[in-house]
Amino acid sequence: MQSDLLPTPFPQPHDYKFKFIDLFAGVGGFRMALQNLKGRCEFSSEWNKHAQQTYFSNYGEVPDGDITLDETKAKIPEQFDILCGGFPCQAFSIAGNQKGFQETRGTLFFDIADIAEKHQPRVIFLENVKNLVSHDKGNTFEVIKNTLKELGYAVYFQVLNSMTHANVPQNRERIFIVAFHEALVPNHAEFQFPEEIILTKTIHDVLEQEKVDDKYYYQPDHMYYPTLKESMTSRDTLYQWRRVYVRENKSNVCPTLTANMGAGGHNVPLIKDNYGIRKLTPKECFAFQGYPVEKMVFPEKMSNSALYMQAGNSVTMPLIQKIGEQILKVLNS
């Protein structure tokens, strides 16, 4: 776990106001956001070894591994205020019409419910893909909501976009679930998700202004170069290679970053800059998730594919912080 003596770019706040645990932690988007709000992380869990290394480089702590194991769950401290995590959306089919706790077994959501039942945090704060709402004709999401309600939580949820709610120029829609312990937070009905705000940042606020490493640029002898050169005419938008053609992002923001960017560098958004046609760098991808990349430490010798995957898997950090602010308004009122 953690040593508070380790020098780290993002140390725990000494004058903390609340405690939280960081499940399915990735590179620590929830952690950074909640530490910014004077939260202290009491426990973290992430099974991916590469993400663990990046997390350690920035927080001085290696997250515990597989959260489905009883020995991992046993390390969670008894008391904390907020359970948070961007849990993986496993495609699980619900058999029959019964709703309830049993039907969530075998999924990673059950592990969240298991921990919540034992520790009774005041708030559960989760993020997932937008399609979670419609998966299996809505049955999956109904089970999630009903399970939380059975555990005594009032459930609030909304699909928010990074570019409309966090002033981050990435078109990224995600569902956010905020569940308050009804007995411990009787004023939970005061909760409201953040309001939409004007997007003032452009891709140029995020992109590197200087020439990046040559390895990111397409060379004229590349088989796709003629198509890319013909299609990519603007320097004010991003593009994506779609198997046989180039798609422009018409909204002039970054298209949704995905975990499969890590699969050999495919699906990484493309940009035309003053020096040529290139892929975004991993650092730029993290910047499009709202991270302060000038402070972040990226492990030496880690592959770009691993970093691309981590960026695509991550949450948009400032949006997590904005929702966190709304949660704290309720807890502190």
Give the residue numbers annotated as catalytic, written as ranges: 89
CA distance 179 to 126: 9
Buried b (16+ CB within 10 A) or exposed e, 123-139: bbbbbbeeebeebeeeb
- Please report which helix (H) or strand (E) contains residue 18, including its range: strand 18-23
CA distance 48 to 286: 18
State the CB neighbour count (10 A cutoff) for residue 215. 10
Q: Which of 17, 22, 16 is nearest to 55 (CA)?
A: 22
CA distance 317 to 129: 15
DSSP strand E in the chain: where?
18-23, 39-44, 82-85, 123-129, 153-161, 173-181, 239-242, 245-248, 270-273, 276-279
Contact residues for 8 (Cβ-Cβ < 8 A; gap 6+):
58, 59, 60
Phi, psi of 12 (to 5 degrees): -65, 145
User: Can you list the alpha helix ranges (DSSP code H) found in the chain?
Assistant: 29-36, 49-59, 70-73, 108-119, 139-150, 162-165, 225-231, 282-287, 304-313, 317-332
Contact residues for 136 (Cβ-Cβ < 8 A; gap 6+):
92, 93, 94
Strand order in the sheet with 39-44: 39-44, 18-23, 82-85, 123-129, 173-181, 153-161
114 three-class SS: helix
CA distance 119 to 115: 6
Assigned token pair, 54: 């990046």
CA distance 13 to 215: 39
